[in-house]
Amino acid sequence: MSKMINLTINGIAVSIEQSKTVLEAAEKLNITIPVLCYHKDLCIAGNCRVCVVEQIGSQKLIPACATPVFEGMEIQTNSLVVRNSRKHIIELLLSEHNADCTKCYKNGSCELQELASEYKITNSDFIDLVPLKNYKYDDLSPSIIKDDSKCIRCQRCVRTCNEIQHLSALEVAYKGDHMKISTFAEKPMNDVVCSNCGQCIIHCPTGALVEKNYIEEVWDALGDPNKHVVVQTAPAVRVGLGEEFESKSGDRVTGKMVAALKRLGFDSVLDTDFSADLTIMEEGTELLTRLKQALVDGDKKVQLPMFTSCSPGWIKFVEHTFPEYLNNLSTCKSPQQMFGALAKTYYAQKRSIPAENIVSVSVMPCTAKKFEANRPEMRDSGYQDVDYVLTTRELAIMIKQAGIEFNNLEQDNFDKLMGNSTGAAVIFGATGGVMEAALRTAYEIVTGREVPFKNLEILPVRGIEGIKEASILIENPVDDWKFLDGVELKCAIAHGLENAHQLMTNLKNGKSEYHFVEIMACPGGCLGGGGQPIPTSPEIRKKRMEAIYAEDGAMPLRKSHENPEIVQIYKEFLDKPLGHKSHKLLHTHYTPRERY
Amino acid sequence: MGKKQLRRVDLIFANDDDYLQILKKSLDIPTEEIINEMINSGLKGRGGAGFPTGLKWKLTGESKGKQKYIICNADEGEPGTFKDREILTQVPYKVLTGMAVAAKVAGATKGYIYLRGEYRFLVPLLNKEIEKFHVLCKDAGLDFKVEIFLGSGAYICGEESALMESMEGKRGEPRNKPPYPTEVGYMGKPTVINNVETLAHTFTILKYGAKKFRDLGVQDSRGSKLFSVSGDTPIPGIYELELGMTVQDFVDDFSDGDCKAVQVGGASGFLVPRKRFAETNIGYQGKLTGISLPTGGSMMLFNSSRSMFNVLDNYLDFFQEESCGQCTPCRVGCQQLVKGIEAVKRGDKPASYLDKLLKLTDTMKYTAKCGLGQSVANSFQSIVENFREEMIY
């Protein structure tokens, strides 16, 4: 254990491990120190200065977030000079900030607004600097809106994009009064190396970075009597949505979410988990086929390892930064897009509804899904496969707008036909989940036996470690897969693009070798996605992860190939995994992109 | 005349052709003795902040780490300062000798001269000097190499931690302190960073001993110092003067006879109005009576034809542009100060608005992340408080 340091804060004694900060010591005493640039996911910046406190004996105030504790330190967090300074700093931030709060998308959930309200900044007579600035508003990306007039230059987004996502699509440009957060050559967000992951959004304290919302479009569709509106909900939404209604993080609200969607007027409330199960069938088969081609046929063109392709942020990252690996990506569309393609074909046929009358909406923990739905490749049904993508947050807004008291709803069940799923599908929402689901099915196909893990819980692929490695030895396979006898299937999992970059670099340098790699763009996987409720933190993601695995454990079916609706769709419509129809509707291709 | 003449000193620019012997001799002295000499001399950082040089070397020497660095801060950017350029032109070997001895004391093998971008023309001359110096070091048995790193023109990169960030290829933004460079400096390694002039003074101490240096100056302000004299003076230029003089003595020697105020320490320094000339000293700590101002050596004289509003407006405009922009009090504070005094001058804001701005500069002094933002208050407060009527009318 590290050395304990004794100090006092507002006269109260506290002792805390060496190397901790004044902010952490105050937290221990339940003393709140306001912060803006500080975020638990990010390295310390110490640049907003709202967390300044008085250190007795020092002429300057010190930033609580950036100052390590030392023995005998005496801190005052609420002295006159601290209050006056803090108020000044909030006033200064407001003078550069376009404070049209009532018209702001983040009205009510803005950290600056909260502070201004707390400190009652009602009579600031500093000069309004906003009209003097040439602020840009960029809404050209289908995922992210960047409004410089709302930016307080805390650089949380810059650190997020650099430290968590290794992209640095957002960077600091210029200095002094011209200093701003910008993209390469100030290009719009849709024209730079941005993965659309939305991590910048969930780390932005104000309305400077928000999702492009499609709330009105969806309301319009719901109000149109000629449209049949179907909705699919991603696995991670059900473990996050509750947070928008003040439940604890990690509460599972699947049934209430379904009930709310029905009340909103969706004609059919379906589940992306269904198409997650389908993804396992297609992707698992693709993996085994690749292994056969590589190991038996000696086909040099077959690329291994195979990478998962569920995460559109990860896809765009590969397209920009490792385009030479595009052939390693599974050709499977993401579950959202498989669902979309089937909604306007299989579903339309079964329900005898003309495809042009179907509006397909998805609720995703993700902003990159908005970009994905708009990709030109994603129109295999003859229409745009997914019309509108809502984030978890947008769904919460709609529920509130509709006057639905979410917490008092009775639980409801998904509708039939693409509404049924297994535990293997729900774990797609956590890092390692796709891997686990794929192994549960693939191992059984190959050996005829269940994976050799208690309760089907493949623990080595679970958890929040940045890069995980696991291997599974294949013994006594069934006749079709005899060539895999004794093969040790090597897998790796990474989440967050910084980790992905590390994994890719090792791969490229020949430092590691795998057969199958799962990568999710966001930390923790989809449960920590850029469309999830704000705030986010390592603890919150951990809670959501526990909820995901609890949801899996509670499902009667735990393996994708046992989903009866999956069996049915192959029988009635798709024929077989990687079959002709699958190939047309469920698989795609990728586009190399420039870094700049 | 009966008037007290300032004691001019001629140590720094004295051409010493015995520098090889000084270097060799110094490298033979045990580290501890050198540190003691430096501490006893009373030499403090000549960049303006005034940290004791011997202590800095000692702390870096004590820091753990295989790799350590010596950096010479030659990013001379304070408005009204032009002494370092002259040192590097005339006696670069003194600076290099200082770096070599610091390297020995701290245990560093690599040194950098962070040269102001606008001083690019000095590069060929310095490189020639560095080449010669490398041979001497080798002869003297010291494994130490020096390289020039050219800045790109940002004022903030003269701040030591921003300077290191910029050397590491990042944006020149000051770091949080602690930790200080003596522990975590360039590339995260313990680093001695000294101003050009400071290093040149160490040569004097190495050559003549601590006593000769200590005999100059007063109390906590020991030795001589280079002053860059500009403004309303018939004799602008660089002068080496003993520390501890009063502004009055300085004005008697340098003004055009009509001096109404002196800006000590450049834009980030203080304005001293005529009524305070006699009680203000130039040095580091306060004397028993009177005010004492530390300085990087810029002395700007203003005569009665100058508008102090224009002077302040000019400084603030400079800060507004040269702030790195990362911390709120400095980035937005500077903009508010410029726009604020201009609004008062135009009559768009009442004169009492100046008091709000004065309070704002207090906040900037207490909360800004680095010396730049903290020291904007110096010129603002000293000018507004002493020349309030010039701000309004």
Query: Which CATH architecture describes the domain A132-211?
Result: 2-Layer Sandwich (3.30)
The helix (H) or strand (E) run that includes residue B342 is helix B328-346
Q: Which CATH code fits A215-274+336-408?
A: 3.40.50.1780
Which pLDDT does position B287 carry in this prediction?
Answer: 45
DSSP B132-178: HHHHHHHHTT---EEEEEE--S-GGGGSHHHHHHHHTTS---PPPSS
| The dihedral sign for the CA sequence A58, A63, A65, A67 | negative
Residue tagged active-site, from A212, A333, A369, A370: A369
A330 in active site: yes
Residue tagged active-site, from A310, A332, A366, A491: A310
A310 in active site: yes
A372 in active site: yes
Question: What distance in Å separates residue B342's CA from the closest CA in chain A?
Answer: 11
| Residue B323 to residue A177, Cβ atoms within 8 A | yes
| Residue A89 to residue B367, Cβ atoms within 8 A | yes
Q: Is B268 on the interface with A (CB under 8 A)?
A: no
Tell me the count of A-B CB pairs closer than 8 A: 113
For residue A99, is pLDDT > 80?
A: yes
Question: What distance in Å separates residue A91's CA from the closest CA in chain B?
Answer: 10
Dist. CA B370–CA B54, nearest whole Å? 23
Residue tagged active-site, from A96, A111, A282, A286: A286
The highest-level CATH class for domain B217-303 is alpha beta
From the candidate CATH numbers 3.40.50.720, 3.40.950.10, 3.40.720.10, 3.30.110.70, the one assigned to the domain spanning A282-332+422-586: 3.40.950.10
The helix (H) or strand (E) run that includes residue A62 is strand A61-63
| Residue B366 to residue A152, Cβ atoms within 8 A | no
Looking at CATH, the fold of the domain delimited by A4-91 is given as Ubiquitin-like (UB roll) (3.10.20)
Which pLDDT does position B143 carry in this prediction?
Answer: 95
- At B142-186, the pLDDT tens digits run 999 999 999 999 999 999 999 999 999 999 999 999 999 999 999
- At A263-300, the pLDDT tens digits run 999 999 999 999 999 999 999 999 999 999 998 888 88
Out of B331, B359, B374, closest to residue A179 by CB = B331
Q: Which CATH code fits B19-214?
A: 3.40.50.11540
Q: Is A152 on the interface with B (CB under 8 A)?
A: yes
| Residue B366 to residue A66, Cβ atoms within 8 A | no
Specify the amino acid at residue B310: N
**Minimal-distance CA residue of chain B relative to A43:** B176
Q: Where are the beta strands (DSSP E) in B139-214?
A: 145-150, 191-195
| Predicted complex: ipTM over 0.85 | yes
Residue whose token pair is 């040192």: B87
| Residue B367 to residue A49, Cβ atoms within 8 A | yes
Question: What distance in Å separates residue A255's CA from the closest CA in chain B?
Answer: 46
In which band, very low, low, confident or very high, does the pLDDT at A248 lie, cut at 50, 70 and 90?
A: confident
Which pLDDT does position A283 carry in this prediction?
Answer: 97
Q: How many CB atoms lie within 10 A of CB B202?
A: 28
Token digits of residue B79: 């408005």
Where along chain B do its domains lie? 19-214, 217-303, 308-392
Q: Which of residues 233-272 of A touch B (CB under 8 A)?
A: none
Out of A49, A85, A176, closest to residue B321 by CB = A176
Specify the amino acid at residue A215: I
Where along chain A do its domains lie? 4-91, 132-211, 215-274+336-408, 282-332+422-586
Question: What distance in Å separates residue A133's CA from the closest CA in chain B?
Answer: 11
- At A58-86, the pLDDT tens digits run 999 999 999 999 999 999 999 999 999 99
Out of B325, B336, B360, closest to residue A176 by CB = B325
- Average pLDDT, whole number, for chain B? 93
Dist. CA B113–CA B196, nearest whole Å? 9
The highest-level CATH class for domain B308-392 is mainly alpha
- At A451-505, the pLDDT tens digits run 999 999 999 999 999 999 999 999 999 999 999 999 999 999 999 999 999 999 9
